[in-house]
Structure 1
């Protein structure tokens, strides 16, 4: 292998990984900075980018282990888009090239027929230079990725795919609340969703401590906010709750120890812990969670943080089903709608 080929392979190993660590690895002395350049093509009713909303045409590829992909799985389920958009689920770990379909018979996605998600990215662009990330939406007829722009994917599920929502689907992005939802989402992304990664992939003590302080300032803000209201914005579940939940559900099993976010556990923050359990016990949230896949992913894939690859047995997660008492704050999870039926 030539020096150039070796550099390419090393770059692929660093950037392909999972969406949750897109391009993420510890660089000595540096603060972790997330690469947020995605394929921004959208699937819309007017097909402005050449991809019309069309049931059965697209396949969502989303690993249950990844928090960013988990969002798309939750929103798809809440809105009842299962018949319109099929779901492919890579396993929790992957090789240096990309996510792999090792949970499927023969190690191939049964619809796309591919072993690695990388193949769908290369069908879009044979020289695709960036991370092979989930969630990704693949055009089934061509086998090529349409988009991996995870924040836009869930917003488009709510707006562009409304014709195919189930009866009683919630409005996760209501027009009157969008400005506040967007404002809350920005802080959640920078300080919490990405904040745990800044702690885990910090390349110096100073970078780690700065990231740690920012994270817990934000968690304290959320603790105060959720002490007085059941959901983040308004009195129903919105996109903001989905985005926060996928980080909270991974906090004690992974981020507290693996990423050194250890000022306290989620279970030691009464409002956040009650809120997280409230959502977990709501159809569409907890039924998308696989704690073993989550732990396997982080502790095995992140070799620079956990070189032994040992996956911890704990913590005991049975308490996610315990009573939360959040009903006393009022609110209606699905507004005038209804929960999704059992999956």
Structure 2
């Protein structure tokens, strides 16, 4: 089949996975990423065949349109998030084998798979949230997907020099966010690329997460404090729809006390070890329904940050599969 302009359909639709991956890193929401990509394809097919035929590289055209759509969405999102109740966190991603409709360890539609690498880690996505929309688009396109500045300049209708300045500003934000707090070890300052695999220390992180789960289940405050960095931070996102602390909880002892208090207030809570945005994390379920997805940042064997997503609207992709511990 062709698209009506002499090109095979696969030539154009084959760009979908790349576009989904780009849009998720720009927006932090799979649903919004899918909407942005769908809108780009709608604009493509709305053009007359002769206009589509005049486009030499459909993938470049679609990338430009998706990037511009995401830029607009990010601008409006900043306004919406000013009215958001409590902290806003990116939507967490399960392992692709656990996506709704998955079978045999694969997504129902392979073109919709989001590559789970360091550039979708919760820590990295949270840093991206601190950037202006233009900084985020330039940074993701250049530092993650390796687009050259002249191409980005065309996409954003800016000069290459202006795009370089935006990228430099974004990198300063990354370095500032990754600067260690007192008692914490420094983390890598280089932006991960979309082609990189998760860090080789996943096994060590999984072991820390397993110990943390067991300590939480047994409500062992001393063990929890031992696994938490003294300067650790917990951020929760309930979106005003469920109960959640509206401000970060700071300090290992305070976090441990908070977690034990929550466990005591919610009987029958089941803690599962899961892959969250490509790294070991935890899922809390009650009566088989996912109530919380927690991404954790582990440095030198201690948990430095916990991002707990409780907003039900952000948990629709999570299943009630059995424990993997």
What is the TM-score with the length of structure 2 in the denominator? 0.30
The answer to which structure has the higher strand fraction is: 2
Higher relative contact order (CA 8 A, sep 6+): 1
Larger Rg: 2
What is the TM-score with the length of structure 1 in the denominator? 0.28
